[in-house]
Amino acid sequence: MATRTVAVARPRAASQRTTLGMWLFGARAILKGMALTHRHFLRNLWGFIRRKPTVFTVQYPEQRLPFPNAFRGMPVLVQMDNGKERCVACGLCEWACPTDCITIYPAETADEIERHPEVFDINMSRCMFCGLCEEACPEEAIVMSHNVEISAFSRRGTLWHKDDLLVPVSKLAPRLEHIRGSYDR
């Protein structure tokens, strides 16, 4: 196909107009702009009267927008139905993490899956929600959730431990479905 160059069209320069023409032109441009903003104002006012708001702004936190399935919020650990984590403490997410925000101490248990993380900490002040941990995980044990409201009053509060990170598998169904679709090809 073809690309070509085009010259941008500039408004006529002042030297090409008379002073009166310049004034009229300027006045027209300003009136045009005012008409535009007033149109927006009246439309929004009409929407307000009819109780069908046309305003683009979302009144967070009272109103919330739905997240798309692909959305990556904070990483969480998948909790199996027996209340245990699915993680086997292999450490791949620790390797993949560019910011080194994950800390894992592996340990052994008497359960059927005999390896688990004794400590699984994520430093949320360093995490950048890139999702590489999720992509690296061979067990579908760490996934990105839709939770982004993780502000804390102290730096200590940004350190999330294993118990805080566990989320029941039933709540993560849309995300699990999404990653099965996108990482399986």
Partner 1 sequence: MSQDTLERLRERFPTDVIAVDRYRGDASATVRPESLLDVARFAKDDPALRFDMLLDVTAVDYIGQEPRFEVVHHLYSTTHHHRLRLKARVPEKDPTLPSVTPVWVGANWLERETYDMYGIRFSGHPDLRRIYLYDEFEGHPLRKDYPKEKRQPLIGPGSRHGASVVDEHPYAVDLPPPVHDKGMLGSELMRIQLGPSHPATHGTVRIVVDLDGETIVNADVQVGYLHRGFEKECESGFYYQAIPYTDRLNYCSAILCNVGYCMAVEKLFGIETPPRCQFLRVIAGELARIADHFVCLGATALELSAFTPFLYGLQARELVWDLVDALCGGRVTSNYIRIGGVSADMPGGFADLVRQNIPKTLHLLGEMEGLLTENPIFRARMEGVGRLPAEELIAYGVCGPLLRAAGVDLDLRRAQPYLVYDQLDFDVPLGSHGDNMDRYLVRVEEIRQSARIIEQCLRMIPDGPVDTDDPTIRWPAKSRVYTRMEELIDQFKQVTEGPKPPPGEVYVGTESANGEIGFFLVSDGTGKPYKCRARTPSFSNMQPLARMIQGRLLADMVPTFDLINMIGGECDR
The residues binding partner 1 (CB under 8 A) are: 1-11, 13, 22, 25-26, 28-30, 32-33, 36-37, 56, 67-72, 90, 92, 95-96, 98, 128-132, 135-136, 138-140, 144, 179-185
Question: What's the 3-state SS for 15-32?
Answer: HHCCHHHHHHHHHHHHHH
* Residue 39 CB, nearest approach to partner 1 (Å): 9
Per-residue tokens: 155: 């730096």
Residue with Cβ nearer partner 1 (35 or 119): 35
Residue with Cβ nearer partner 1 (26 or 168): 26
* Residue 151 CB, nearest approach to partner 1 (Å): 17
**What is the spatial distance between Cα 101 and Cα 164, in angstroms, rounded to a whole number?**
16
Residue with Cβ nearer partner 1 (26 or 163): 26
**What is the spatial distance between Cα 112 and Cα 92, in angstroms, rounded to a whole number?**
21
The vertex-27 CA angle with 22 and 33, nearest 5°, equals 130
E strand spans, 50-169? 75-79, 102-108, 115-123, 142-144, 159-160, 166-168
* Residue 21 CB, nearest approach to partner 1 (Å): 12
Residue with Cβ nearer partner 1 (168 or 174): 174
* Residue 9 CB, nearest approach to partner 1 (Å): 7
